Amino acid sequence: MNIQALALAFLAATAIGGVAWVFLYPLLSGEKKAENRRASIAKSEPMDRQGEKSQRSRREQVEGSLKELEARRQKQSKISLSTRLTQAGLDWSPQKFMIISGVPAAACFAIAMMFGGGLLGAIGLAFAGGFGLPRWGLSFLKKRREKNFLKALPDAVDVVVRGIKSGLPLFDSIKVVAADASEPLKSEFIAIIETQAIGMPLGDACARLYERMPVPEANFFGIVIAIQQKSGGNLSEALGNLSKVLRDRKKMAEKVQAMSMEAKASASIIGALPPLVMLLVYISTPDYISLLWTHPTGQLMLLGCAVWMSIGILVMKKMINFDF
The string of pLDDT tens digits covering residues 195-216 is 888 888 887 888 888 888 888 8
Write down the pLDDT at residue 44: 46
DSSP state of 184: T
CA distances from 274 to 261, 269, 277, 308 (A): 21, 10, 5, 12
The answer as to whether 53 is a domain residue is no
The answer as to whether 81 is a domain residue is yes
Judge whether residue 9 has pLDDT over 50. yes
Asked if 89 and 184 count as a contact pair (C-beta separation under 8 A), the reply is yes
Which domain, by its residues, includes 297? 260-324
* Average pLDDT for 237-261: 84
Residue 185 to residue 209: CA distance in whole angstroms: 11
How big is the chain by its Cα radius of gyration, in Å?
32
Length, in residues, of the chain: 324
Residue 291 to residue 277: CA distance in whole angstroms: 16
Whether residues 159 and 244 share a domain: the answer is yes
Q: Where a domain ends, among 200, 224, 258? A: 258
Write down the pLDDT at residue 196: 82
Judge whether residue 249 has pLDDT over 80. yes
Whether residues 163 and 271 share a domain: the answer is no
Whether residues 122 and 168 share a domain: the answer is yes
CA distances from 202 to 32, 107, 131, 159, 230 (A): 57, 48, 38, 18, 11
Judge whether residue 45 has pLDDT over 50. no
Helix 133-165 and helix 185-197: axis angle, to 10°? 70
Whether residues 253 and 268 share a domain: the answer is no
Asked if 206 and 178 count as a contact pair (C-beta separation under 8 A), the reply is no
The answer as to whether 272 is a domain residue is yes
Domain count, the chain: 3
Q: How confident is the model at residue 274 (pLDDT cuts 50, 70, 90)?
A: confident
Whether residues 254 and 271 share a domain: the answer is no
Whether residues 131 and 267 share a domain: the answer is no
The answer as to whether 51 is a domain residue is no
Whether residues 79 and 11 share a domain: the answer is no
Whether residues 203 and 239 share a domain: the answer is yes
Whether residues 222 and 292 share a domain: the answer is no
The answer as to whether 65 is a domain residue is yes
The answer as to whether 44 is a domain residue is no
pTM above 0.85, yes or no: no
Q: Where a domain ends, among 258, 290, 313? A: 258
Looking at the chain, the whole-number percentage of residues with pLDDT higher than 70 is 74
Pick the closest to residue 207 from 196, 199, 218 (CA basis).
218
Whether residues 170 and 245 share a domain: the answer is yes
The answer as to whether 54 is a domain residue is no
Whether residues 232 and 243 share a domain: the answer is yes
Whether residues 68 and 192 share a domain: the answer is yes
Asked if 89 and 145 count as a contact pair (C-beta separation under 8 A), the reply is yes
Q: Say what the alpha-carbon torsion angle 157, 163, 169, 174 is, to the nearest 10 degrees.
A: -40
* Average pLDDT for 131-147: 88
The answer as to whether 50 is a domain residue is no
